[in-house]
């Protein structure tokens, strides 16, 4: 074997051969012999994990997309991958030889006298995770080899953050842009239109990134046979297939911008953001504490063991902050951390302009300062270059100077309160771009603020999992979905978002403002045609499946469409 793909293929063959062995112990047989040290269920779980690893990193691929090609300048990492795969193949072979009787395990080959004659200073084998039989220790080695492959893939697979949009920009998500802008307008009705459009386009860029990551992941995984169980496990991103369920959704009341690279302190606060209803951050996948796993959003291999770090990773994927100041020189720059965005605001926008020509008036923008000079000090302004004079009047704004939120007009007493308050607005909006996960329906329910609006920010050192609103885990009805069902589920969720965000607000406004005029009637007719073209036609194009939750989701969408059309004066869409 010369390539990584050949080693992967050999391991898969050994896995399949071992799983099909007639002597392997199944959990339904109360056998306490040698076979009980390695059951079929446990082995199939490890096979699923191995397939997830290979599909995520493309270890089974050949040619220019192969792992060998990508590691051509990192021979030390390639050698580690090959060594782990060879160890895994040998462990699988040893287990098969024992189960088929070709090899006698040492724990059955040695007599009691052999044990008693052993060196008394040597510690006896301890009963533990690896057991005291050769077969149980071989299985522990199989698990550890796969764990090491997962850990190694974290350093191989993850790209640098600065080029995250280089290829993502080739993925078209322009169809979402009007709905994302409308969503911002609905959430922040007092925000200037240009800022709402800027925020809506930022949401669409995030969708673009996630769509690219999904397509790239599917491309890497192509050519590897994944059964329905493997696909289900990969989708919910657990490193332990038997624990593939979410623990509990995470509230935004916990700070997402925890310790920064500069060592800034962690804080938590009660927000005064305009909208008290928020989507929750999806919970840390179960089993994450056992080692690296595949993130269900960016499909990167990550090693995260706490909810606090999981929140940080989710928002790192989202790049949730942009500048919301009018006239910003970099309006489309995305910031990964809140302190990065806050530094930008302080450098370019947290300024004031004080007239130095004797009137002592102050202004919040350079344009206001320029207009003042032109009207009140025209003689001086004509003698001096106007822009230079404006620059001379500029000075940093005191951090304790009150400022209105540009998104909801609520007064903020200090810069610290301002950047927390506006940052929370942006975090709420950014979560709207997260792809839907199976079993997330109950978690999507919004939660009210735990504190009254307008309460001043609170400072406190935060450790992982402190001040978390714990929600009891609910049974996940979607863990049994196969690949086809998951694809249909995602399509229905996307269509429901389009209906709720894009069409419901527009239709509601049209219905409430209907005065019976011909113009309004034409507007209603246009909306009806739009719903038929963009919602009903798409719904009919999504395959109908018998899976109960998919049927319920479809019926729910049909019911919403029927109610909306009924309000617009159209009969039911049901046959």
Taken as a whole, the chain contains a residue count of 575
Residue 454 domain flag: yes
pLDDT at position 407 is 94
Tokens encoding 211:
């769509």
Residue 256 domain flag: yes
Tokens encoding 478:
């979607």
Do 142 and 164 belong together in one domain? no
pLDDT at position 330 is 85
Residue 575 domain flag: yes
pLDDT digits (tens, 9 = 90+) for 153-170: 766 754 444 445 555 555
Of 440, 469, 498, at which residue does a domain stop? 469
Do 143 and 246 belong together in one domain? no
Residue 60 domain flag: yes
Write phi, then psi, for 237 (nearest 5 degrees): 60, 45
Of 469, 495, 518, at which residue does a domain stop? 469
Place of tokens 């709402």: 196
Residue 389 domain flag: no
Do 418 and 301 belong together in one domain? yes
Instruction: Please tell me the pTM assigned to this model.
Output: 0.53
pLDDT at position 563 is 87
pLDDT digits (tens, 9 = 90+) for 386-396: 778 888 888 88
The ranges of the chain with pLDDT < 70 are 1, 24-37, 64-65, 73, 107, 109-132, 154-155, 157-175, 220-279, 287, 380-384, 438-480, 571-575
For Cα atoms 90, 91, 95, give the angle at the middle one, nearest 5 degrees.
115
Do 146 and 293 belong together in one domain? no
Report which secondary-structure segment, H or E, holds 492. Answer: helix 483-497
Under 8 Å between Cβ of 241 and 49: yes
Do 436 and 492 belong together in one domain? no
Do 462 and 502 belong together in one domain? no
Do 310 and 420 belong together in one domain? yes
CB atoms under 10 Å from CB of 139, counted, come to 23
Do 550 and 571 belong together in one domain? yes
Q: How many domains does the chain have?
A: 3
Report the DSSP beta bridge partners of residue 395.
352
pLDDT digits (tens, 9 = 90+) for 301-313: 787 878 888 988 9
pLDDT at position 164 is 52
Do 433 and 562 belong together in one domain? no
Write phi, then psi, for 246 (nearest 5 degrees): -80, 150
Largest CA distance in the chain: 110
pLDDT at position 413 is 92
Do 243 and 101 belong together in one domain? no
CA-to-CA separations, 299 to 61, 237, 313, 438, 484, in angstroms, rounded = 17, 8, 12, 15, 19
Residue 376 domain flag: no
Of 406, 438, 469, at which residue does a domain stop? 469
pLDDT at position 565 is 87
Distance CA 425, CA 411 (A): 14
pLDDT at position 184 is 92
Domain that holds residue 532: 481-575
Do 247 and 336 belong together in one domain? yes
Residue 369 domain flag: no
CA-to-CA separations, 575 to 506, 548, 572, in angstroms, rounded = 26, 20, 8
Residue 387 domain flag: no
Do 14 and 131 belong together in one domain? yes
């Amino acid at each position: 074997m010369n390539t990584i793909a050949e080693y992967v293929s050999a391991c898969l063959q050994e896995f399949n051969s071992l799983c099909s062995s007639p002597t392997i112990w199944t959990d339904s047989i109360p056998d306490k012999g040698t076979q009980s040290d390695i059951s079929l269920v446990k082995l199939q779980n490890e096979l699923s994990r191995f397939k997830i690893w290979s599909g995520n990193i493309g270890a089974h691929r050949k040619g220019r997309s192969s792992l060998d090609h990508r590691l051509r300048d990192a021979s030390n990492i390639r050698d580690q991958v090959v060594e782990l795969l060879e160890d895994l193949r040998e462990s699988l072979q040893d287990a098969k030889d024992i189960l088929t009787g070709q090899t006698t395990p040492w724990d059955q080959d040695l007599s009691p006298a052999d044990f008693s004659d052993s060196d008394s200073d040597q510690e006896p084998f301890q009963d533990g995770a690896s057991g005291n039989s050769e077969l149980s220790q071989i299985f522990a080695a199989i698990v550890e080899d796969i764990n090491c492959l997962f850990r190694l893939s974290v350093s191989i697979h993850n790209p640098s953050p600065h080029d995250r949009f280089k290829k993502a920009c080739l993925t078209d998500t322009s169809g979402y842009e009007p709905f994302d802008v409308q969503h911002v307008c609905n959430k922040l009705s007092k925000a200037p239109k240009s800022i709402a459009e800027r925020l809506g386009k930022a949401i669409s860029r995030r969708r673009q990134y996630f769509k690219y990551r999904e397509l790239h992941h599917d491309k890497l995984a192509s050519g590897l046979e994944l059964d329905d169980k493997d696909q289900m496990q990969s989708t919910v991103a657990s490193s332990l297939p038997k624990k593939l369920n979410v623990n509990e959704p995470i509230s935004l009341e916990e700070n997402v911008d925890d310790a920064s690279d500069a060592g800034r302190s962690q804080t938590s606060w009660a927000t005064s953001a305009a909208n008290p209803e928020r989507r929750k951050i999806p919970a840390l996948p179960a089993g994450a504490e056992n080692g690296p796993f595949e993130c269900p959003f960016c499909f990167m291999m990550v090693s995260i063991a706490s909810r606090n770090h999981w929140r940080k990773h989710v928002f790192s994927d989202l790049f949730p902050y942009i500048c919301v100041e009018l006239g910003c020189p970099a309006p489309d720059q995305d910031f990964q951390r809140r302190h990065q965005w806050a530094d930008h605001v302080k450098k370019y926008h947290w300024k004031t302009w004080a007239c130095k020509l004797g009137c002592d008036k102050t202004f919040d923008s350079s344009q206001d300062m320029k207009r003042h000079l032109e009207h009140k000090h025209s003689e001086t302004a004509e003698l001096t270059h106007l822009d230079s004079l404006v620059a001379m009047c500029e000075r940093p704004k005191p951090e304790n100077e009150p400022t209105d939120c540009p998104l909801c007009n609520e007064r903020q007493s200090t810069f610290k309160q301002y950047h927390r308050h506006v940052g929370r607005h942006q975090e709420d909006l950014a979560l709207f771009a997260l792809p839907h996960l199976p079993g997330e329906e109950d978690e999507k329910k919004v939660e009210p603020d735990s504190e009254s609006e307008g309460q001043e920010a609170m400072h406190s050192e935060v450790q992982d999992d402190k001040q978390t609103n714990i929600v009891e885990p609910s049974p996940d009805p979607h863990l049994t979905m196969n690949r086809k069902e998951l694809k249909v589920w995602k399509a229905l969720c996307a269509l429901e978002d389009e209906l709720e965000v894009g069409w419901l607000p527009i239709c509601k406004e049209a219905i409430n403002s209907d005065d019976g005029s011909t113009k309004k009637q034409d507007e209603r007719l246009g909306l009806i045609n739009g719903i038929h073209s963009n919602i009903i036609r798409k719904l009919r194009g999504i395959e109908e499946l018998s899976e109960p939750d998919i049927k319920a989701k479809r019926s729910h969408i049909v019911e919403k469409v029927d109610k909306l059309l009924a309000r617009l004066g159209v009969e039911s869409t049901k046959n």
